[in-house]
Amino acid sequence: MTTATTMHERRPERPPGESRSHVDRRRRRIHGSPWVAVAFAAPLIVYLIAFYAYPLIRSIDLSVHDYNIRAFVQGNAEFVGLENFANVVSSPLFPQALWNTFLFVFVSLVFQYSIGLALAVFFKRRFPLSGVLRAMFLIPWLLPLIVSSSTWAWMMNSDAGVLNSFLGVVGIDPVNWLTSPETSLLSVIIANIWLGIPFNLVILYSGLQNIPEEVYEAAALDGAGPFMVFWRVTFPLLRPVSAITILLGLVYTLKVVDVVWIMSKGGPANSSLTLAVWSYREAFGTGQPDFSPAAAIGNILIVIALVFGLAYVNLQRKVEQ
């Protein structure tokens, strides 16, 4: 990241007095015809069309037809327009799934970010083992989701889970983490916070590294205490990096299926059902695949993700400038 910037700046500027067309000609000679660039990007372009655009179009196609398994093979599904969308939105499950998604994303992000930031500030002071410990914090993020989710599921087991035995030590009654509708959403949120901390820590830590030391020295000269420095210096300077971290976390949390599905399948009684999990369940989670509503839910999810995604792209452009 930093090397890219410096190298970029080091590229020779156009000498004063040299005409633009002269430079253009020279550039062309160095880089060859524009078709050479296209040739190098061609595999990617073909790939994006075949393996991104086409599946996407197929999923939109699913959402405006009435597909069942037979129609899938024969390819003669009836066109129903926006009926699937209307059915999904008017379903009593929709407000619940939307609210669960909101809680899942919002609570996860608040805790991931604040814990990640606190740890990043903590690790910024060099101390023995700090590098090794920081590296070990990456582990939860690198583990396959099936591994971490099933471990959490077993830890949260009502009868034999270690979490309940910890609670027992401090005199709290056992909690039916994943089997009670009151706590299942909370349970998957806890696991998801744990999963997201490493990512937040790494990005915020690298953001902290990019704040020049002189800023802190100046603040110290002005007699600012550590809390003052954090609120008045660190936090504002970190804002662009924070925004990107949160937006990326948001897009990821919005679309994640694995954690919730493996831990609770969205249940019991839909209490931990998010939009992404609902979509997955309709299409693949039951013996009776219902691709059309599933695709409709998925496409609603894309729209939501894109709104935030575009905010992200916009923001990144601002940061670049």
CA dist 204 and 238 (Å) reads: 8
Stretch that binds another protein, among 26-34, 80-88, 93-101, 226-234 (CB under 8 A): 26-34
**Interaction between residue 212 and another protein (CB under 8 A):** no
Task: Report the alpha-carbon distance of residue 67 to residue 315 in Å, rounded.
Answer: 39
Strands of 189-269, DSSP E: none
Candidates 79-87, 93-101, 103-111, 279-287: pick the segment binding another protein (CB under 8 A): 279-287
Pick from 114, 151, 181, 269 the residue near another protein by CB under 8 A: 151
Among positions 109-138, residues that touch another protein (CB under 8 A) are 119, 122-123, 125-130, 133, 135-138
Nearer to another protein, 195 or 219 (CB): 195
Q: Which of helix, strand or coil describes residue 65? A: strand
Mark the segment that binds another protein (CB under 8 A) among 56-64, 83-91, 103-111, 231-239. Answer: 56-64
**Separation CA 310–CA 211 (nearest Å):** 27
Nearer residue to another protein within complex by CB, 109 or 262: 262
Selected from 64, 199, 219, 266, the binder of another protein by CB under 8 A is 199
- Rounded to the nearest 10 degrees, what angle do helices 184-209 and 145-155 cross at? 130
Alpha-carbon gap, residue 196 to 109, rounded angstroms: 8
> Is the peptide bond prior to 268 cis by the omega test (within 30 degrees of 0)?
yes
By beta-carbon proximity to another protein, the closer residue of 20 and 126 is: 126
**x/- letters, 246..265, toward another protein (CB under 8 A):** --x--x--xx-xx---x---
**What CA–CA distances, in Å, run from 130 to 5, 123, 180, 208?**
27, 6, 40, 15
When the beta carbons of 268 and 309 are compared against another protein, the nearer one is 309
Q: What are phi and psi for residue 78, nearest 5 degrees? A: -80, 140
Q: Give the position of tokens 């210096």.
A: 233
Q: Is 34 in the site for another protein (CB under 8 A)?
A: yes
**Of the ranges 84-92, 178-186, 227-235, 308-316, which one interacts with another protein (CB under 8 A)?**
308-316
- How many residues touch another protein (CB under 8 A)? 114
Q: CB count, 10 Å around CB of 165?
A: 11
- Give the interface segment with another protein, choosing from 78-86, 88-96, 178-186, 272-280 (CB under 8 A): 272-280
From the list 23, 82, 86, 162, which residue makes contact with another protein (rule: CB under 8 A)? 162
Distance of CA 242 to the CA centre of its chain: 14
In the complex, least distance from residue 223 CB atom to another protein, rounded to whole angstroms: 20
Return the number of the residue (49 or 215) whose C-beta is nearest another protein.
49
From residue 131, alpha-carbon distances to 105, 121, 199 in Å are 30, 14, 16
